[in-house]
């Protein structure tokens, strides 16, 4: 019995070995490959979605880290730091403000509204931090000036000082701004010295023609820039579009209208005749950091053309006051005292005492007259954005997932911020009125009475989406 069992066991073992040596049939291999393909098809979107959500989390985390760093830099230096968002100049990302019928013809021609409300910029691919740095005598002025001719270190260095240095042949640097070094060198223009700004290529460019006199047509210059057909000549054209570029030597020279004693070779400031900026401290704008998001991440503007700026609690919702606000196109000024303000790049030059603005060709920074009570910075993954339809949010299950977005809420009065998950296309989600982060009745917040604000309304003109 035992012998028989052993013989049968040996025989069965031999057959299994034969089957192993024979291998798999083609049908069996095909079945395995099909199963593997199905598993990959199921897993790939999950893996991609998980990767994009990790990149979103990392990008937002780095953004808030840089925001905190900028606040510290502003406090330590006593100078403003500006946060601006980076966006390319593809006109397909532009929507005209509500109430103006754009139509395909207008979009095709690149025409847009005037600078105060240039339409809605939907997405940004990164951001930058620029420091407002007031120039003083000392280490940041030219070493060519003899020590005997320098005022005490720390004394404000004015535009008047700049002109006198130029006349003395000391070649001081023009007011600094973020210029594109490689593009400027490629164009044959200088990148430092007394005659730089007018011929240099800017790092950041404002794509709306700022001095069109209020016309709608021909005001959008981004199409030509996007196509590589726009250059920055040495003349007056496009000077006001160079973001953070406020003056050059030729323009500063115009500030000096009259000298009481021109023979002495010293430029003086004549109150009521010369331009007031001649006596002001020179301001440089220094690029501190420039950050690109991961390719799968956008900063996003979910609003149309209006934003809630005040609320009358005694009159109901009808008393809401709205103002033009394009959240990605304006600059956020981080002040040394912690306040965050909305500023804009504009061409609205301070006139000469006689009211003239002749020869003033550069733009300037100006604080917005109205801004939201709370600043929202939205971030989304690329899967929820439809580039073929004006970069609007898709109506998909993924766009209703809170993992597809992040919301950074900024309190402008003190710079405090909060980060929340955000569902880009979920009208059912609101930040509750009882949320402590919106409890502006707290005296410490400085807002006074509670103001109803919510981040989940696509457009505050639509009160109940």
pLDDT tier at 92 (50, 70, 90 boundaries)?
low
Pairing of strands 385-386, 375-381: unpaired
- pTM confidence score: 0.77
User: Mean pLDDT over residues 414-433, rounded?
Assistant: 72
* C-alpha distances out from residue 117 to 219, 265, 274, 372, Å: 11, 46, 33, 15
User: What does the pLDDT read at residue 81?
Assistant: 98
CB of 398 within 8 A of CB of 103? no
User: Mean pLDDT over residues 64-69, rounded?
Assistant: 96
For the chain, the straight-line distance linking the first and the last C-alpha, in angstroms and rounded, comes to 84
Closest CA to 82 of 41, 132, 40: 132
User: What does the pLDDT read at residue 15?
Assistant: 56
User: What does the pLDDT read at residue 111?
Assistant: 30
Residue 129 has pLDDT above 60, yes or no: yes
Distance CA 248, CA 187 (A): 18
Backbone angles phi and psi of 91, in degrees to 5: -65, -15
pLDDT tier at 277 (50, 70, 90 boundaries)?
very high
- In the block, tokens 């606040």 appear at 71
Of the ranges 2-11, 182-191, 259-268, 446-455, which is most confident?
Answer: 182-191
User: Mean pLDDT over residues 110-118, rounded?
Assistant: 34
User: What does the pLDDT read at residue 327?
Assistant: 76
User: What does the pLDDT read at residue 56?
Assistant: 95
User: What does the pLDDT read at residue 112?
Assistant: 31
CB of 248 within 8 A of CB of 162? no
């Amino acid at each position: 019995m035992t012998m028989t069992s052993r013989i049968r066991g040996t025989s069965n073992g031999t057959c299994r070995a034969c089957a192993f040596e024979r291998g798999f049939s083609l049908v069996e291999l095909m079945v395995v490959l099909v199963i593997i393909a199905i598993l990959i098809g199921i897993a790939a979107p999950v893996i991609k979605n998980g990767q994009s959500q990790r990149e979103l989390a990392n990008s937002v985390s780095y953004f808030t880290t840089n925001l905190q760093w900028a606040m510290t830099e502003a406090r330590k230096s006593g100078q403003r730091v500006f946060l601006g968002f980076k966006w390319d100049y593809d006109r397909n990302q532009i929507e005209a403000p509500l109430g103006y019928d754009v139509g395909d013809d207008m979009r095709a021609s690149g025409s847009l509204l005037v600078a105060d409300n240039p339409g809605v910029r939907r997405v940004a691919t990164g951001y930058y931090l620029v420091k407002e740095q007031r120039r003083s005598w000392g280490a940041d002025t030219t070493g060519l000036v003899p020590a005997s001719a320098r005022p005490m270190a720390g004394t404000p260095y004015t535009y008047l000082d700049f002109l006198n240095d130029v006349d003395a042949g000391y070649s001081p640097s023009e007011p600094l701004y973020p210029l594109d070094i490689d593009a400027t060198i490629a164009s044959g223009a200088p990148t430092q010295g007394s005659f730089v700004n007018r011929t240099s290529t800017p790092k950041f460019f404002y794509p709306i023609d700022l001095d069109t006199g209020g016309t709608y047509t021909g005001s959008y210059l981004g199409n030509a820039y996007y196509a590589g057909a726009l250059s920055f000549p040495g003349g007056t054209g496009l000077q006001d579009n160079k973001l953070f570029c406020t003056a050059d030597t030729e323009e500063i020279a115009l500030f000096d209208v009259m000298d009481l004693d021109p023979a002495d070779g010293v430029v003086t400031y004549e109150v009521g005749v010369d331009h007031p900026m001649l006596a002001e401290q020179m301001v440089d704008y220094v690029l501190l950091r420039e950050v690109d998001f991961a390719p799968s991440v956008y900063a996003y503007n979910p609003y149309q053309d209006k934003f809630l700026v005040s609320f009358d609690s005694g009159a109901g919702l009808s008393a809401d006051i709205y103002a033009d606000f394009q959240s990605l196109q304006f600059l956020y000024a981080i002040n040394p005292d912690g306040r965050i303000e909305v500023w804009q790049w504009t061409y609205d030059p301070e006139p000469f005492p006689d009211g003239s603005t002749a020869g003033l060709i550069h733009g300037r920074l100006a604080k917005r007259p109205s801004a939201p009570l709370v600043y929202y910075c939205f971030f989304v993954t690329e899967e929820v954005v439809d580039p073929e339809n004006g970069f609007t949010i898709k109506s998909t299950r993924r766009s209703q997932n809170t993992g597809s977005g992040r919301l950074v809420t900024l309190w402008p009065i003190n710079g405090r911020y909060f980060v929340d998950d955000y569902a880009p296309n979920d009208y059912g989600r609101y930040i509750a009125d009882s949320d402590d982060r919106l409890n502006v009745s707290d005296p410490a917040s400085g807002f006074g009475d509670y103001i109803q604000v919510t981040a989940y309304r696509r457009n505050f003109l639509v009160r109940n989406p």
